[in-house]
Structure 1
Amino acid sequence: MKLVVQVKLLPTPDQASALEATLRACNRAATWAAEVAFAQNIKDRNGLQKLVYADMKATFGLSAQPAVRAVKKVVDAYAALAATLKAGRLGPPTTKRHRKAISAPLGFRPTAAQPFDDRCLSWKYDARRVSIWTVDGRMKDVKYTGSADQLKTLAQFRKGESDLVQRSGKWYLIATCEIPEPEVYEPVDFIGVDRGIANLATTSDAVNYQGRGLLRYRSWSARKRAELQRRNTRSANRRLARRAEKEHRHATHVNHRISKEIVAVAQRTGRGIAVEQLDGIRERVRLRGDQRATLSSWPFHQLGAHLAYKARQAGVPYIEVDPSYTSQRCPRCGHTERANRPTRDHFRCRRCGLAGLSDVVAGVNVRNRARSAWAFVTMPVLSAA
């Protein structure tokens, strides 16, 4: 499986200046190449490279391999846009967002990330140094640092491209690592995980990971953002950007902690993990105006992604099931009715009287559906006689 490892670069002032000049040159060249691709309607790599390769080297000062990587970045960006349009995430062709996306060429920020392959970037793991191409020539012995686990993974499994990133005045390298996957074991049962807003995750074991603290933190951050937006000064805008990054890091840390604990329990008990398939939930539900910001900032997708990759890394079975009526269905008698859930937190079956916390009941229903789904997936295929 592929994972990324982020390490922090520790360049000297002169090295930092060279890195920034390199990013800006690469992104100027990529923006120009994107304009050519749009004007000529050429989005394949070979065709675009024939058109822009020589000018990228002569006009923008790129060497051969950085020019090739810049072309690849442009082609990948247009491919990602095409996939987004095909999936309907920008609406139908008649919408303003869709028309705007296809009416102009793509552009790249002056300091957008730039990919480097092994011809442009080499690593010295023992010395914790990298040698990297810049517009000022090859720059050797740039220091980097990271946690012990990150450095170990980097040295053992790094393979492929590394992205140079500048973020808030700091420099990072994001390296791709190919980690071997352990064989997925046959689960004795499943842990059903119900994701929500008030409770970020509730398992079928009645373990509850409350979201109250995250909601309070985000409400406080929203008030601070509103204050800074009203000021509308340069300093306020810089603080807004820092606050957005800090809020994202906080939510990511919470999701890492929750997913790590759930995967550890599943691995220790020999069970699998089951979650609801919540793709497209923002398009399916209708919300009041005061609920939209809460749902938009709800990190349920990230929690599911963390659970999925941590489960794969540990060899834990992972499955997504149909989310329909999991909080309204009685796991004992199967009766499904909206009245089974009189309040947000409580469940009481109108037929058999089973009562409990609604999120735990939902987790049990997810677990039960996972049992059936896993049995169907692993069912042997009988060949015709």
Structure 2
Amino acid sequence: MKLVVQVKLLPTPVQAAALEATLRACNEAATWASGVAFEKDVKKNFALRRLTYDEIKTRWGLGAQAAQHVIKKTCDAYATLKANLKAGNLGAPGSKRHRKAAGKPIAFRPEGAQPYDDRMLSWQIAERHVSIWTVAGRVRDVAFAAAPEQLAALALYRRGESDLVCRDGMWFLNATCEVPEQPLNADPAGFLGIDLGIVNIATTSDGEIMAGRGLNRARVRERTLRTKLQKKNTPSAKRRLKRRRRKEARRARDINHKIAKHVVAEAERTGRGIALEDLTGIRERVRLRKPQRATHSSWSFAQLGAFIAYKARRAGVPVVYVDPAYTSRTCAECGHIDQANRVSQAWFACRNCGFVDHADRNSSRNIRARAWELWRSEAQSTAPAPPSERTRRVGAGRKRSITASDARCASPAL
């Protein structure tokens, strides 16, 4: 499986200036090539190369490999745009947003990432140095910082291209690594159900609750501070806003990584699989009042699910996705479904049998039961379904009954 190892470069001022000039030249060339591709309606790599390759080398002084990567980056950008337009991610055909995206050539930011291959970049991992091509010539002995496990991954598994990235004045290299996967556990002893939420980020069917109070309070503080600074609109306020950029996202990402690591380790230790809800499209299906919209939009359930999926795939732990219909209203003991069963956000009390439990734990037990039922019905097949397959729903709020096709057994592709 492919993983990305990010290391931080520590260039001297002279080296940083050369790297910055290289990114600017490459992205200016990519923007020009994008204009040619749009005007001539040529979006394929080899066809666009015939039109732009010589000009890019001559005008911007790029080497042969850099010029080819610039052209490939341009074609990839148009392929991504086409996929987004087809999927409706940029509005319906004919809408203002759709016309704006499709009606002009793609432009690249001056500091956009640039891919490097092994002809343009060489690693001295033991010395923690890299030698990298720039428009000013080959820059050698650029130091980088990395954790011991990152160094080991680079030494053993690095394959293919690396991306040079400049973010907030800091330089990074994102290296692609082909990490081997553990054999999939085709005979799990059961499933660990995971209920994802906002108040409680994750609740397991074993009763363990990973509360989100600290993260939610931090998000409210950051949101309030951003509002105050944006209203001030002074130079110092702008500098402070810039310093705090991505701080909330980094905190959430760190918490999600820790939760995913813990969940996968527990499932691997006990020989179980992991059961998750398929929450695809949940933001489009719910209607919220204005005070709730920011909180719901900042809910990073997709990121946590992706972290669990790739860590489970690496460990050989099967992951099953189930239909989330009525998991919060169904009694895990008797199966009675009633909206009144959900007494509050925190508590569940069955109107039929009197069973009382924490609401999220009850939901996670329902998720576990559904995953186990699906796994047993597809016991002869452990291969995941195609990534494009999604749970079909009837209407905006109701979902059909669960069948074996609702689960994507084993870990999905990254």
TM-score w.r.t. the length of structure 2 is 0.90
Question: Structure 1 residues 221 and 137 mapped into 2: Cα distance closer, same or farther (>3 Å)?
Answer: same
1:272 aligns with: 273
| CA shift for structure 1 position 220 | 0.3
| Secondary structure in structure 2 of the residue aligned to 1:177 | strand
Write the letter of the residue equivalent to 2:35: E
Is 1:108 matched up with 2:83?
no
Instruction: Give 1:78 deviation, angstroms.
Output: 1.1
1:328 aligns with 2:329: yes
Q: 1:280 Cα shift?
A: 1.2
Aligned to 2:405: none
CA-CA distance at 1:61 after TM superposition: 1.3
Pairs within 5 Å for 1:356-375:
356-375=357-376
Q: Match for residue 56 of structure 1?
A: 56
Aligned to 1:23: 23
Specify the alignment match of 2:192 in structure 1. Answer: 191
Deviates more, 1:348-357 or 1:89-98: 89-98
2:147 aligned with 1:147, yes or no? yes
Q: 1:49-88 to 2 correspondence within 5 Å?
A: 49-88=49-88
Tell me how far apart the structure 1 counterparts of residues 89 and 357 of structure 2 sit (CA, whole Å). 38
- Per the alignment, residue 353 of structure 1 pairs with 354
Q: Which moved more, 1:232-241 or 1:49-58?
A: 232-241
Structure 1 vs Structure 2 CA RMSD: 1.3
Q: Deviations over 1:89-145 (max 9, x none)?
A: 222113322222111111111001101011111111122111111001111111112
The residue aligned with 1:95 is 95
- Residue 378 of structure 1 deviates from its aligned partner by 2.5
3-state SS of paired residue (1:91): coil
CA pair 332-269 structure 1, distance change in 2 beyond 3 A: same
Match of 2:412 in 1: none
Shift of 1:339: 1.1
**Do the aligned partners of residues 303 and 26 (structure 1) sit closer, same or farther apart at CA in structure 2, a change above 3 Å counting?**
same
Aligned residue for 1:233?
234
| Matching residue of 2:406 | none
SS in 1 for 2:160: strand
Q: Deviations for 1:162-207, whole angstroms, at most 9, x for unmatched residues?
A: 0001111111101000001110112100000000000000010110
The C-alpha deviation readout for 1:228-254, integer Å capped at 9, x for no partner, is 111223443343233231111111111
Task: Measure, in 1, the Cα distance between the counterparts of 2:298 and 2:104.
Answer: 29
Q: How many Å apart are 1:380 and its aligned residue? A: 6.1
Measured in 1, the distance between the counterparts of 2:165 and 2:35 equals 23
Q: Map 1:279-290 to 2 at 5 A.
A: 279-290=280-291
DSSP-derived class of the 1:347 partner? strand
Question: Secondary structure, in 3 states, of the residue corresponding to 2:251?
Answer: helix
Distance 1:148 1:349 in 2: 51
Q: Alignment partner of 1:127: what SS? A: coil
- Secondary structure of 1:180's counterpart equals coil
Q: Secondary structure at the match of 2:348?
A: strand
Aligned to 2:220: 219
Closer, same or farther: CA 227–76 of 1 in aligned 2, 3 Å = same
232-241 or 131-140: bigger deviation: 232-241
Alignment correspondent of 2:316: 315
Tell me the amino acid that sits aligned with residue 26 of structure 1: C
Aligned residue for 1:244, secondary structure, equals coil
- CA distance in structure 2 between the partners assigned to 1:307 and 1:14 by the alignment: 41
- Which has the larger displacement, 328-337 or 188-197? 328-337
Shift of residue 373, structure 1, vs aligned partner: 1.5
Letter of the aligned partner of 2:69 in structure 1? Answer: R
Q: Provide the residue aligned with 2:180 in structure 1.
A: 180
Partner SS for 1:5? strand
Structure 1 consecutive aligned stretches of length 4 or more whose deviation exceeds 4 Å: none
The whole-number CA distance in structure 2 between the counterparts of 1:242 and 1:302 is 24
CA distance in 2, matches of 1:26, 1:304: 35
Q: In structure 2, what is the equivalent of residue 263 of structure 1?
A: 264
Distance 2:203 2:95 in 1: 38
In 2, Cα distance between equivalents of 1:327 and 1:213 = 24
Match of 1:295 in 2: 296
Tell me the equivalent position of 2:205: 204
Report how far residue 374 of structure 1 moved. Answer: 1.4
2:411 matched to which residue of 1? none
332-341 or 265-274: bigger deviation: 332-341
Q: Which range moves more in the overlay, 146-155 or 328-337?
A: 328-337
Mapped to 1, the partners of 2:301 and 2:88 lie a distance apart of 21
> Counterpart of 1:340?
341
SS, match of residue 287 in structure 1: coil
Residue 4 (1) aligns with residue 7 (2) = no
Q: CA deviation at 1:261?
A: 0.8
Q: Which runs of 5+ in 2 are unaligned?
A: 383-414
What whole-Å deviation, never above 9, does each CA across 1:64-109 have from its counterpart, x for those lacking one?
Answer: 1001111111111111111112222222113322222111111111
Map of 1:248 onto structure 2: 249
With structure 1 as the length reference, what TM-score do the two structures score? Answer: 0.96
Cα drift, residue 326 of structure 1: 0.7
Write the distance in 1 (CA, Å) between the matches of 2:189 and 2:238.
Answer: 53
Q: Distance in 2 between matches of 1:216 and 1:226?
A: 15
Q: 1:312/1:380 Cα in 2 relative to 1: closer, same or farther (>3 Å)? A: closer
Q: CA-to-partner distance for each residue in 1:305-350, whole Å, 9 max, x for gaps?
A: 1101111111111111111111011122222121111211111122
In structure 1, the residue corresponding to 2:82 is in which secondary structure?
helix
Larger deviation, residues 344-353 vs 305-314: 344-353
Please tell me the residue identity of whatever aligns with 1:65: Q
| 1:156 equivalenced with 2:156 (yes/no) | yes
Query: How many percent identity over aligned positions?
Result: 56
